[in-house]
Amino acid sequence: MAEIAVVNYGIGNIGSILNMLRKLRVAAEVVCDARGVMAAKRLVLPGIGAFDACMGALTSSGLREAVLEFAHADRPLLGICVGMQMLTHGSEEGALPGLGLIDAYTRKLPAKTGLRIPHMGWDDVRWCQPSHPLARDLLGESRFYFVHSYCVSCSSPANLLAACSYGIEFAAAITRGRTSGVQFHPEKSHRFGLQLLGSFAST
């Protein structure tokens, strides 16, 4: 059995994630059905583009309930980019509900003078829960690659795993139990992304 399964519901940067896991020599596979999701040791939920397109595709693929069941069983789940936003209750970008696994909501990044939207490029991340497994080996310099126009706001500080600033402070990573999400792209973040994915593979 692979150490990490990546959910394929038709949207997501699956190839780049698999390439990073290969560099780590972590056995990984792509899962396309509920049986594959439930058999996984650890699950990655990718997402790129619009919130409603991702949620709609996850639902129409028949995998929404399987992902929820996996998370409710307190098994390791990592959402990436829009995959993180999907863990929240919903998004200002669309009308469909999110998975509601973490008490948070996704809002549009506010326009600020001199700042371009989307927030694109490398930025510093501050870990708010240093003892969390994903923060391991990242408590010094911690820079990740972002591409997003919407950001997550947590209802409780207990769910804020990491923060970043771009006009406002927003959640760079969120967590509840063994479900976590990152707004940045670890698969595009070189050694920092390798460290984070390696930590996830050992949770």
Strands (E), the chain: 4-7, 28-31, 43-45, 77-80, 104-108, 119-124, 126-127, 143-148, 150-154, 160-166, 168-176, 179-182
Based on the residue annotation, tell me whether 185 is a catalytic residue of this protein.
Answer: yes
Rounded to an integer, what distance in angstroms lies between the CA atom of residue 153 and that of residue 107? 7
User: How long a stretch of residues is the chain?
Assistant: 203
C-alpha distances in Å from residue 50, one per residue of 14, 19, 188:
17, 24, 19
Helix (H, G, I), strand (E, B) or coil at 143: strand
Helix (H, G, I), strand (E, B) or coil at 188: helix
Bridge-based pairing state of the strands 168-176 and 179-182: antiparallel
Of 89, 132, 185, 190, the catalytic one is 185
Beta-carbon contacts of 136 under 8 Å, excluding residues fewer than 6 positions away, are: 195, 199
Of 81, 128, 151, 154, the catalytic one is 81
Of 93, 148, 187, 190, the catalytic one is 187
Helix (H, G, I), strand (E, B) or coil at 179: strand
Based on the residue annotation, tell me whether 65 is a catalytic residue of this protein.
Answer: no
Rounded to an integer, what distance in angstroms lies between the CA atom of residue 53 and that of residue 67? 17
Residue numbers annotated as active site: 81, 185, 187
